[in-house]
Copies of this chain bind each other. A is one copy, B any other.
Amino acid sequence: MGPDDPGSGMSYRDAGVDIDAKLTAIDRVKERARSTLGSQAGPIGHFGGTYLVPSGPDQILVASADGVGTKLRLAFVLGGEAHAGVGRDIVNHCVNDILALGAKPLFFLDYFATGKLDPDVVAAVVGGVADACLDNSLALLGGETAEMPDSYPPGEYDLAGFVVGTVLPDRIVDGSRIRRGDVVIGFPSTGLHTNGYSLARKIIGLTGEASPDGSILATALADGTSLGDALMAGHRTYRPEVQPLLDAGIVRGMAHITGGGLKDNLPRTLPPEAIARLDPAAWVTPPIFEYLVERGRVSLDERYRAFNMGIGFVVVVREADRDTVLDRLPEARQIGEIVDRVTSDESAVQGLSC
């Protein structure tokens, strides 16, 4: 048999990459993706996705890349709806990131990588991505679905997202207008969102093995919710709440509370001379965090860095605008205030340690 004998040799499929299966999986999600395309997005299937930006004044594109982290590992254990959930999570995570600079999202692309492509899982994940794109009025412009034999164990995958949005230069919110006396307003999270899952998994003993015993996820928390449901609660988008505040021009700084918690994320919007003095008693810590910090005996210092502890997004406004925000958004809480920095070695976020 020579090398040109079509029946005798190695094929890409034998090597674990089934291009036809990939095309079938992509076809299944293409319709969902198409439903997100507004009038500015071009057709899907070219080498790149296209998005028309009409002529107009200067604008700033704002872009962010992110992943879901090891929340994925709980989705592998739970299966079913959890796959669509992490698809929605990555979109909302990315949207909140650029929202924190005042940007309106335009389009999104996903990266899905797995060892052996399961069309049902791809359809569930990308279906969740498409749903969240629709919710946030952004176009799912494309993405990459990679089948990588030997790189992911059976049933596992990684998921990343990329978003691009736009903001007018005089509307960008970078925290530079924050002054002493401004108030720090927090919006509740629905749970861990997409951060702190490696610590949470360690606390509940779901680490190591590829397919751990997930029975602990049925544990009831103080409010009756199961641990599994509480951990898989979706990363919410804050756009519906925050956009009206942006339109009103009253926002001086914003922070999306992701990896690093309030401690690492709030400083990203604070000018060097400002300190945020927070009062954790100002908001109710959800039962899932109480459960995790108690079971894991997580120190005060650690918990506000590993977890969002119930605050998913922060807005800083003038004191005079506080009631405008709180009256309009009953779930928002004033969680602190801005004070002057006295010495250069002070922590930029205070009130969260012993």
Q: Which residues of B contact A202 (CB under 8 A)?
A: 10, 14-16
A150's partner among B52, B70, B297 (CB-CB below 8 A) is: B70
Q: In the bound complex, how far is the Cα of B302 from the Cα of A113, in angstroms? A: 23
**CB 8 Å contact bits of A162-183 with B (1 = contact, 0 = none):** 1111000100101000000000
A274 at the interface (CB under 8 A from B): no
List residues 39-59 of chain A with CB under 8 A from any CB of chain B: 42, 45-59
Q: In the bound complex, how far is the Cα of B19 from the Cα of A23, in angstroms? A: 38
Inter-chain contact B63/A107, CB cutoff 8 Å: yes
Q: How far is the CB of A63 from chain B (nearest CB, A)?
A: 5
Q: How far is the CB of A162 from chain B (nearest CB, A)?
A: 4
Inter-chain contact B70/A293, CB cutoff 8 Å: no
Identify the stretch in A254-262, A333-341, A342-350 within 8 Å (CB) of chain B at 4 or more residues: A254-262
Inter-chain contact A54/B58, CB cutoff 8 Å: yes
Inter-chain contact A296/B10, CB cutoff 8 Å: yes
Q: Which residues of B contact A65 (CB under 8 A)?
A: 109-111, 142-144, 162
Q: In the bound complex, how far is the Cα of B203 from the Cα of A9, in angstroms? A: 10
**CB 8 Å contact bits of A256-282 with B (1 = contact, 0 = none):** 100110001000100000000000000
Inter-chain contact A47/B5, CB cutoff 8 Å: no
List residues 102-130 of chain A with CB under 8 A from any CB of chain B: 103, 106-107, 109-111, 113
A354's partner among B6, B11, B169, B296 (CB-CB below 8 A) is: B6
Inter-chain contact A294/B3, CB cutoff 8 Å: yes
Q: In the bound complex, how far is the Cα of B207 from the Cα of A14, in angstroms? A: 12
A220 at the interface (CB under 8 A from B): no
Identify the stretch in A193-201, A225-233, A320-328 within 8 Å (CB) of chain B at 4 or more residues: A193-201
Q: Which residues of B contact A12 (CB under 8 A)?
A: 196, 198-199, 302, 305-306
Q: In the bound complex, how far is the Cα of B149 from the Cα of A196, in angstroms? A: 11
A223 at the interface (CB under 8 A from B): no
Inter-chain contact B64/A48, CB cutoff 8 Å: yes
A148's partner among B5, B198, B264 (CB-CB below 8 A) is: B198
Q: In the bound complex, how far is the Cα of B10 from the Cα of A203, in angstroms? A: 7
Q: A45-B268, A109-B162 are in contact. Are A297 and B1 (CB under 8 A)?
A: yes
Identify the stretch in A30-38, A93-101, A184-192, A242-250 within 8 Å (CB) of chain B at 4 or more residues: A93-101
Chain B residue nearest in CB terms to A164: B164
A146 at the interface (CB under 8 A from B): yes
Q: In the bound complex, how far is the Cα of B149 from the Cα of A199, in angstroms? A: 10
5 contacts between A and B (CB under 8 A): A11-B306, A19-B259, A53-B59, A61-B164, A65-B142
Given contacts A3-B298, A150-B198, 5 further A-B contacts (CB under 8 A): A12-B199, A52-B60, A63-B107, A147-B198, A149-B198
Q: Closest 10 CB pairs between A and B?
A: A9-B297, A6-B299, A162-B162, A47-B100, A15-B202, A10-B296, A65-B109, A48-B64, A111-B160, A15-B199
